[in-house]
Structure 1
Amino acid sequence: MNSLHHPTSAPLPASTQVLVVGGGPVGQTLAVALRVRGVDATVVDQRSGPADTSRAAVIHARTLEVLTDLGVNDELLRLGLIAPRFTVRDRDRTLLSVDFGGLPSTHPYTLMIPQDVTEHVLTERLHQLGGQVHYGHQVVDVKQLADHVVVTTADGQTIRSAYVVGTDGMHSTVRTQAGIAFPGTAYAVSFVLADVHLDWDLPTDETQLFFDSAGLLVVAPLPGGRHRIVAPLDPAPEDPTPDDIQAVLDARGPQRTPARVRDVVWGSRFHVHHRLADHYHSGRLVLAGDAAHVHSPAGGQGMNTGIQDAVALAPHLSALVEDDTRQGELDAYEAERRPVAARVLTMTDRLTRLATMRSRPLQKVRNAGLRVLDRIPAVRQAVAMNLAELSTDPNRSPAHP
């Protein structure tokens, strides 16, 4: 997988065994996992073409583990940047340092890699398996019949499939058409996100989380000498400039040797939601990824949880395609993955509220508490296990891979 080419989309097939609606990392992972098992999986996406922005930029240890059998890890590791530590700071003072080197995993680190690169790698693997993402096809209608589903696109094409999986994000058409509720709320604060070239003296292979009275700041390394900046701002600029990011770094980042922004490669703003679907399937319609759960980006869990959904779903769908009477397979998928998402939502919500608290007395208590916890190895290990999502694996103990 040395090239990242994307051929012109072929015509939509009239039928397929599994139709995946949404061609991001979750949808492509599912299609790859199904095709590895011999299932005819077709992917459609309403976008005009592949992603060209970095967005989700971290792959955790558990995700790399579940991707092992899909034939993409070597290329992901070649293109990504290994970050072995996560540090929480109050300006120049370390509050908590989490080392992933002791994780009970074959991947004791986080892999920093832009989402568009991750998508490209998955697309290349999908091509090798005879599949592709059919871009420019917005799904507008999903009709369940007794033994199949008929999906209609905005340009009037129809596809017949045995099962349809919605990996089409927070505003999922599949979830809406399935009638599955998606309760939750949005956080009041908006966030600025930017990929920048940065001069600073802190380690270039370590993710830094700054807790300051002025607010939260995340600085994470990316390949190619770039850094990812994330910070809550009220209001956050829609198209952040170098001066915008510099102001955040000056107010919340290191003081002894301040960071200097050279340029902004890409930036945006976003709002954070906290939602979980009531169910992960309805009849022949199934949900995975952001169509099933959305939450704070704290800890970089979103895409990872979705990719793990996709890999977990593949054997259940494969079994159903082989024997359509095995309807309990989708119940088993929901029973396995929905509690994981619920735990991730709880963890990220706590992290977000902890990081964005405005009371200065409470901020001082929080920071003092983190310094105490930093002295307890078991706590540091537990934090590493949770961030790496290894704690979601029921078959794993902290002592054994």
Structure 2
Amino acid sequence: MTTQLPTRTDVLIAGAGPAGLAAAIALAEAGVDFVLLDRQAEGANTSRACVIHARTLEVLAELGVTERLKELGVVVPTFTVRDGATVLAKVEFGGLPTDYPYTLMVPQDRTEALLLERLREAGGDVHRPYRVTAIAGDDTGVTVTVEGDGRTGEVRARYVIGADGMHSTVREQAGIGFTGATYGESFVLADVRMSWPLAREEVSLHLSPEGVTVVAPLPGADDRYRVVATVAEAPEKPGITDIQSIVDARGPEGARSRVTEVLWSSRFRVHHRVADHYRAGRVLLAGDAAHVHSPAGGQGMNTGIQDAVALGRLLARVVGGEPDTVLDGYERTRRPIATGVVAFTDRMTRMATLRPRPARVLRNTVMKAAFSLPPVRAKLAYQLAELAAR
């Protein structure tokens, strides 16, 4: 951890989550001077996102991270969609045209710790706890006002990356709109120990009138799982009784699951929003500052990491002497990917949370018929893996 802030840098990155760390590694590898800030004390991160898809593993492999991630995670080659005892779709990742034909399950805190380790190997670090309070840009750079340890200071940067989350101060200060809406339901998120009747080689999406539920294996003991579920109004700290009632009502029929411990839990509201622009002058956005959406399909952190590495490489080219117009390609390539992900996860969420019985019966009939076709299964695997974003 570093605390002494320089007064000038080529690139200032606000936010040391997965996107900010990935951007910093890309810059460090290219020899670009940067300052990476985060408002949290080190170690304050939590499990949160835990799905890493094939395209992200390809990108992180270029940064020397993927093989280490594989040592920490659970390789999951199958995704299923179920309604009670009925399997509506079974999607196998094994046939994907990639060196990583699977989903890797790694809690976000471990992913961030590994990215930080890799950043330090590349000669970088994070300045904590500092938060951006204001930015002011001109033709030559951006003056960033930061606050930390009760003190206020300024850093002059040629460029700024806002990777500071959904409530991004950088985005707001840059005057960039964040268009979209909020889902009515709230979400329960929990890492638990439980007996679970399905194989640990699959992530399962369960549809029910009560809402949608995703269950995925976590690394460690064989009884560790991630549960994500929509509920009308989630409790502040979901406990064993809350999670047990969810898996009882929505899990596979005729198979008893028993939750024995809640290791970590949270609740959240889900938005589907995309920044109106990814760039305002010398300020650029990445990760949740640029796009947020339903957790259906586990796309969010993956898209953000891919944003960040692409942006880091473009900035390295510009800092190295190429024209500033090189950066125009960032929004042109990455924003359509985000709008596609938002639309895809929105369709998945709305399809999964249908409540009227006739609509559910029709949905199930159509899904079973469609996913009996190998090309349909292959297309969904390709989309979930984000390989179209190459």
What's the TM-score once normalised by structure 1's chain length? 0.94
Which position in structure 2 is the counterpart of 1:121? 114
Identity of matched residues, %: 52
Which position in structure 2 is the counterpart of 1:345? 342
* Structure 2 SS opposite 1:67: helix
Partner residue of 2:371 out of 368, 374, 384: 374
Q: Find the aligned partners of 2:73 and 2:300 in 1 and give their Cα distance.
A: 18
Which position in structure 2 is the counterpart of 1:396? none
| TM-aligned CA deviation for residue 314 of structure 1 | 1.7
Q: Is the 8 A contact 2:3 2:128 kept in 1?
A: no
* Structure 2 SS opposite 1:331: helix
Kindly tell me: are residues 60 and 51 of structure 1, through their superposed partners in 2, closer, same or farther at Cα, counting changes over 3 Å? farther
Which position in structure 2 is the counterpart of 1:387? 384
| TM-aligned CA deviation for residue 74 of structure 1 | 1.4
2:215 paired with 1:219: yes
Matches within 5 A, 1:178-217: 178-217=174-213
Per-residue displacement from partner, 1:238-283 (whole Å, max 9, x unpaired)?
Answer: 1011011000111110222211101100001110001111110111
User: Aligned-residue CA RMSD in angstroms?
Assistant: 1.1
Matches within 5 A, 1:278-317: 278-317=276-315
Q: Find the aligned partners of 1:300 and 1:198 in 2 and give their Cα distance.
A: 21
Q: Find the aligned partners of 1:133 and 1:357 in 2 and give their Cα distance.
A: 44
State the one-letter code of the partner of 1:67. L
Per-residue displacement from partner, 1:358-393 (whole Å, max 9, x unpaired)?
Answer: 211101111111111221000000000010001223
**261-270 vs 137-146, greater mean Cα deviation:** 137-146
Per-residue displacement from partner, 1:333-374 (whole Å, max 9, x unpaired)?
Answer: 110100100110110110011011121110111111111122
State the one-letter code of the partner of 1:196. V
* Structure 2 SS opposite 1:156: strand
Which position in structure 2 is the counterpart of 1:131? 124
Which position in structure 1 is the counterpart of 2:269? 271
Q: Is the 8 A contact 2:208 2:353 kept in 1?
A: no
Which position in structure 1 is the counterpart of 2:63? 70
* Structure 1 SS opposite 2:75: strand
Which position in structure 2 is the counterpart of 1:13? 6
| TM-aligned CA deviation for residue 51 of structure 1 | 3.9
Partner residue of 2:330 out of 312, 327, 333: 333
Q: Find the aligned partners of 2:60 and 2:355 in 1 and give their Cα distance.
A: 39
Q: Is the 8 A contact 1:279 1:334 kept in 2?
A: yes
Which position in structure 1 is the counterpart of 2:255? 257
Matches within 5 A, 1:73-152: 73-152=66-145
Q: Is the 8 A contact 1:51 1:119 kept in 2?
A: no
| TM-aligned CA deviation for residue 41 of structure 1 | 2.0
Q: Find the aligned partners of 1:171 and 1:180 in 2 and give their Cα distance.
A: 12
Question: How many residues get paired?
Answer: 385
Per-residue displacement from partner, 1:308-333 (whole Å, max 9, x unpaired)?
Answer: 00111122101111226x12112111
Per-residue displacement from partner, 1:32-66 (whole Å, max 9, x unpaired)?
Answer: 01111111122101112234411000100000111
| TM-aligned CA deviation for residue 121 of structure 1 | 0.4
* Structure 2 SS opposite 1:102: coil
Q: Find the aligned partners of 2:370 and 2:179 in 1 and give their Cα distance.
A: 34
Query: What runs of 5+ residues in structure 2 fail to find an aligned partner?
Result: none
Runs of 4+ aligned residues of structure 1 deviating over 6 Å after TM superposition are none
Partner residue of 1:175 out of 165, 168, 171: 171
What's the TM-score once normalised by structure 2's chain length? 0.97
Query: What runs of 5+ residues in structure 1 fail to find an aligned partner?
Result: 1-7, 394-401
Partner residue of 2:18 out of 1, 11, 25: 25
Q: Find the aligned partners of 1:195 and 1:212 in 2 and give their Cα distance.
A: 21
| TM-aligned CA deviation for residue 205 of structure 1 | 2.4
